[in-house]
Structure 1
Amino acid sequence: MPNDDLKAHAASQEDFYALLDIPAAAGENEIRRAYRRTALKYHPDKIANPTPADLDKFHLLQIAYDVLSDPAIRQLYDNAREARQRKQRERDMMDAAKRKMREDLEARERAGAAGAGAGVQRGVKRPWMGAGTDDTDAEEKLQREIERIAEDGRRRRREVEEQLKRAADEEEQRLKQEEEEAKRAADRSSQRVDRSREGGGSNVPELERAVKVRWCCGFGVMGFRDPA
């Protein structure tokens, strides 16, 4: 696969390690074995009536092997993958914090409303009820107090949501800057890789030496590469 194509695939959202069912620290031999083992399940010459999904999976497996087999391209992919995972973790933490704050606010609202209602039911005079009020006045004041508590809860919720939104916007901006910096670093690394390969003279890149073979065990003309 041309080097430019590999660079593009290094930014893939696909988890190539999960696709091959290997750890991120897998070595070259483990990657090769996993590729051959998994590719056999989707090779069009090895399964009956392959579906378009099977062919797509087989092609994706070849891309995964090509990316992870090139140390420089793999590093670019690992950097992008780590950035995505870190961003997802931070989003999950932000969502959890947001849910917790909302639950706390709602619990306080329920507790306040329940406390106000219990005071009237037990005949207890609250400070906001005053002295000598009859049942009608008490009910009206209770309703106003409940509305006040609800409004206070809504106000607090709005304040919390605004704070969370500001924090999320700031975090999004920070992550965007990190991604841009990572992309610039990846471009610089890619340029160094290109210069290194250009300076290699007659050295042919490993991927360009890959050949398509017809396996003795029956692999056909679909171009399954033997990574051995």
Structure 2
Amino acid sequence: MAPDPDLLAFAKAAGAAGDDLFTLLSIDATASEQDIRRAFRKKALTAHPDKAGDNYDPALYEKLEKAKDVLLQKEAREVYESGMRAILRKRKERDMMDEKKRRLVEELEEAERQAESQKKKMKMNGGVDPEEEKVMREMAERGKRKWEEKQKLKEEAERREREREDKEYEEKVRELERKLKERKAAKKEKKREGGSTKEEKVNTTAPPPPPPPPVDDTTAAPQSEPVAPSDPRDRFAATMARLRAAQAKKEEEKRKREAEVKGEVAA
């Protein structure tokens, strides 16, 4: 049999509100089904209209009936107890927070008392309190250690960044070398294919024309020397030089920054 939706809604609302239905029936959570029915009959005797007379409270009587039904019906009781557990958990967390606040107030009050005592000691001694001086030294040491740890972390991060940049640089160089090899291989292949094509043309066409007559060196105009095409190896070497120069400049800037930081630490 499906549970009554109205009963489930009542169970959910009672659990969310933190209504103790067990206390309402004067029982505890370990009460059996027979105990729950017996407790309801006992409470109903005083709340029933025939018994209460002019003091009859219909809302109370209805709540007693629903409390009994919720605790006897399995699904409704699970819904109710789930809501109660959430309420109890929130109350516990709130109590813990209140306890933390109380301890915090006590710690602050104790710190104020100690500070007042230190002031009195300093006033009586007419100088610097040894305890305060000790605390200041410890604070300075902690600050120094913290700064040194921060510097180590910074240096480690810079070292890793340099390694990453060096790795990227090496990968770029390898990529350039690979592309250069591919370009050279393609050029050789193209040259080889062009040579074989020329040979086939020579074999299939008419014989070449006779060579031109010799030209007198004294009358012929001087010819300019052909300009050699740009060598891919020269372009690769220039690119490598620019990359090395950029890397050297970056490392020099980092060395300068590290020197400045060391100078500040020494100061």
State the TM-score, normalized to the length of structure 1.
0.50
Q: Relative to total residues, which structure has the larger helix share, 1 or 2?
A: 2
Question: Which structure is larger by alpha-carbon Rg, 1 or 2?
Answer: 2
State the TM-score, normalized to the length of structure 2.
0.43
